[in-house]
């Protein structure tokens, strides 16, 4: 297949590009490199030393003989470039990773809120309208998030996208209906993924676009089989308070002897998936495309759930790290249960890589190797969800104590 990977320079995009190229597909990366600019804005860098995207593609060619295309396009702003690219290349499938994906970054200020909404919603909508305009019947696979469901504990498993409900009509009869699972995003970033869902529903229904939306949990790990092939194919690894995600952060914190930064009680339960499984799921989703006229196909892309404090305790036991319970900069439930259905990927053949498989150690080893690249001042998460929370967090003695010890 000819596949366009939008956001192919990112943390999940790059290993996906390599995985699909290795399988023999013709892969084209479209990216505006905004994530690299955001590192510059924040004054941080990936834990791992990333080469330019052109150099990464050159090394892949050298190692495998396979060519990767790279096209510098901002899909949120350069609509006509995107449309003309699609006309010229006519891909069979498009994988859409190209959004601002950090919840803390999206909550930093009004500017960051506006950027995240403008970038993400326009990126998705430009792509959808371009597919219609160019009469392109490509299968669109979008990376969404488990966070669209919210984290209320209703004591029922979260289904894969849709919920069966019963509505009482004016005659008092009960009518069955299937709706998108009610969305309850917890940040501006997660809200944009909820808006994406409505855009997909409309374009599938109105124009017959073939769309798969993958509601992915928190991705952890760093290497995949393909990024391991050469030091210059190494993946991005975010550790800072805005872009680093919880499990990867705890692992690097343990590696540099920094207390594990648990927010609140750590009673938040979240869904997780290893990066190797993430790229495999995308392969599986590509092989299971919907028909024209079908509703959007939604998969829950996760393999296990964990409570934040359980993860901290597990890593503390494994490495001897200390755990710091800090005031939570986010507005989120202090404690929640989470049961998630993921039957669809299991039925397609996914064999989950769980925390128990020894890969936690691998991340700690990578972090130790590149520890000299870590700026400890960038480790704390400082983006607060409201002004009141910001004031409370700022005054907290435990947070200030951590500042002085670290
Ligand atoms: P990332 O920030 O590392 O990569 C996103 C890439 O998209 C970057 O290379 C960026 O430059 C590019 N991009 C952003 N806006 C663009 C635009 N307007 N035009 C062109 N390129 C643009 O993020 P990631 O961790 O690789 O996540 C990829 C996708 O998967 C995101 O949509 C994210 O919401 C979703 N996701 C990620 C995780 C996770 O834990 N990392 C979990 C669930 C879902
Ligand atoms: N947390 C801590 N300590 C930290 C960092 C985070 O306790 O140092 C807590 C947070 O308060 C939160 C939980 O860990 O309760 C998860 O935070 P996270 O930053 O790991 O994940 P999140 O903000 O939800 O976002 C990440 C990705 C996003 C993706 C989402 C999947 O950045 O792109 O969509 O995971 S999910 O969480 O399933 O919605």
DSSP state of 349: T
Residue 401 has pLDDT above 90, yes or no: no
Outline where DSSP puts E strands in 148-268.
162-168, 174-180, 211-216, 218-220, 260-263
- Residue to mutate (ligand 1; options 76, 98, 104, 300; most atoms within 8 A of CB): 98
Phi (first) and psi of residue 113, to 5 degrees: -65, -45
Hey, which residues does 300 pair with through a beta bridge?
215
What does each C-alpha distance from 328 to 20, 46, 180, 356 come to in angstroms?
39, 24, 30, 28
For ligand 2, atom 34: residue with the closest CA:
145
Contact between 364 and 254 (Cβ < 8 Å):
yes
At 336 the pLDDT is 95
Cα 330 to chain centroid, rounded: 18
CATH number for position 326? 3.40.50.720
132 CA from centroid of ligand 1 (Å): 24
8 lines ligand 1 (CB under 6 A): no
Contact between 272 and 254 (Cβ < 8 Å):
no
Contact between 189 and 148 (Cβ < 8 Å):
no
Angle at 379 between CA 373 and CA 382, to 5 degrees: 145
Domain of 172, in residue numbers: 2-405
Could you give the residue numbers annotated as active site?
Answer: 145, 189, 193
DSSP state of 78: -
113 CA from centroid of ligand 2 (Å): 17
For ligand 1, atom 6: residue with the closest CA:
7
Contact between 220 and 275 (Cβ < 8 Å):
yes
The burial of 189, by beta-carbon neighbours within 10 Å (0-12 exposed, 13-18 middle, 19 or more buried), is given as buried
217 lines ligand 2 (CB under 6 A): yes
9 CA from centroid of ligand 1 (Å): 9
Band (pLDDT 50/70/90 cuts) for residue 405 is low
115 CA from centroid of ligand 1 (Å): 14
Contact between 111 and 21 (Cβ < 8 Å):
no
Residue 340 has pLDDT above 70, yes or no: yes
Contact between 18 and 226 (Cβ < 8 Å):
yes
d(CA 210, CA 4): 15
The ligand minimizing its distance to the Cα of 116 is: 1
How many distinct structural domains can be found in the chain? 1
By residue count, the chain amounts to 406
At 205 the pLDDT is 97
- Per-residue model confidence as pLDDT tens digits over 301-334: 999 999 999 999 999 999 999 999 999 999 999 9
Hey, which residues does 213 pair with through a beta bridge?
142, 298
At 406 the pLDDT is 59
Short-list 96, 190, 146, CA closest to 342: 146
- Residue to mutate (ligand 1; options 8, 9, 12; most atoms within 8 A of CB): 12
141 lines ligand 1 (CB under 6 A): no
- Per-residue model confidence as pLDDT tens digits over 112-168: 999 999 999 999 999 999 999 999 999 999 999 999 999 876 788 999 999 999 999
29 lines ligand 1 (CB under 6 A): no
Q: Dig out the tokens for 27 from the structure.
A: 């892969």
- Per-residue model confidence as pLDDT tens digits over 264-303: 999 999 999 999 999 999 999 999 999 999 999 999 999 9
CA torsion 222→226→227→229, rounded to 10°?
Answer: 130
Secondary structure (DSSP) of 107-120 = TS-HHHHHHHHHHH
């Amino acid at each position: 297949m000819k596949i366009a990977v939008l956001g192919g320079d990112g943390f999940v995009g790059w290993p996906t590009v390599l995985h699909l190229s290795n399988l023999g597909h013709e892969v084209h990366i479209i990216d505006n490199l905004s994530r690299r600019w955001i590192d510059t804005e924040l004054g941080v860098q990936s834990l791992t030393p990333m080469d330019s995207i052109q150099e990464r593609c050159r090394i892949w060619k050298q190692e495998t003989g396979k060519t990767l295309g790279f096209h510098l396009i901002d899909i949120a702003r350069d609509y006509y470039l995107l449309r003309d690219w699609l006309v010229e290349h006519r891909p069979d499938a498009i994988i859409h990773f190209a959004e601002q994906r950090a919840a803390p970054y999206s909550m930093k200020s009004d500017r960051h809120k506006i950027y995240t909404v403008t970038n993400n919603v326009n990126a998705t909508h430009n792509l959808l309208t371009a597919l219609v305009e160019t009469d392109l019947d490509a299968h669109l696979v979008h990376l969404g998030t488990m966070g669209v469901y919210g984290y209320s504990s209703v004591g029922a498993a979260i289904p894969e996208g849709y919920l069966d409900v019963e509505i009482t009509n004016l005659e008092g009869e009960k009518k069955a209906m299937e709706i998108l699972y009610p969305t309850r995003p917890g940040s501006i970033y997660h809200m944009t993924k909820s808006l994406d869902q409505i855009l997909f529903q409309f374009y599938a229904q109105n124009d017959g676009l073939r769309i798969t939306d993958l509601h992915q949990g928190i991705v952890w790990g760093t290497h995949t089989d393909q990024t391991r092939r050469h030091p210059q194919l190494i993946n991005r690894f975010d550790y800072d308070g805005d872009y680093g995600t919880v499990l990867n952060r705890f692992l690097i914190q343990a590696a540099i002897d920094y207390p594990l930064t648990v927010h609140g009680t750590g009673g938040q339960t979240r869904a997780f998936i290893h990066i190797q499984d993430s790229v495999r799921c995308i392969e599986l989703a590509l092989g299971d495309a919907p028909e024209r006229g079908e509703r959007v196909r939604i998969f829950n892309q996760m393999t296990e759930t964990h409570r934040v404090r359980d993860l901290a305790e597990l890593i503390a036991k494994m490495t001897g790290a200390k755990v710091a319970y800090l005031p939570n900069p986010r507005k989120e439930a202090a404690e929640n249960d989470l049961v998630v259905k993921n039957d669809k990927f299991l039925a397609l053949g996914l064999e989950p890589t769980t925390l128990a498989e020894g890969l936690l150690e691998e991340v700690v080893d990578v972090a130790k190797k590149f520890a000299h690249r870590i700026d400890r001042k960038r480790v704390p998460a400082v983006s607060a969800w409201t002004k009141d929370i910001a004031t409370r967090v700022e005054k907290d003695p435990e947070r200030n104590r951590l500042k002085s010890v670290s």
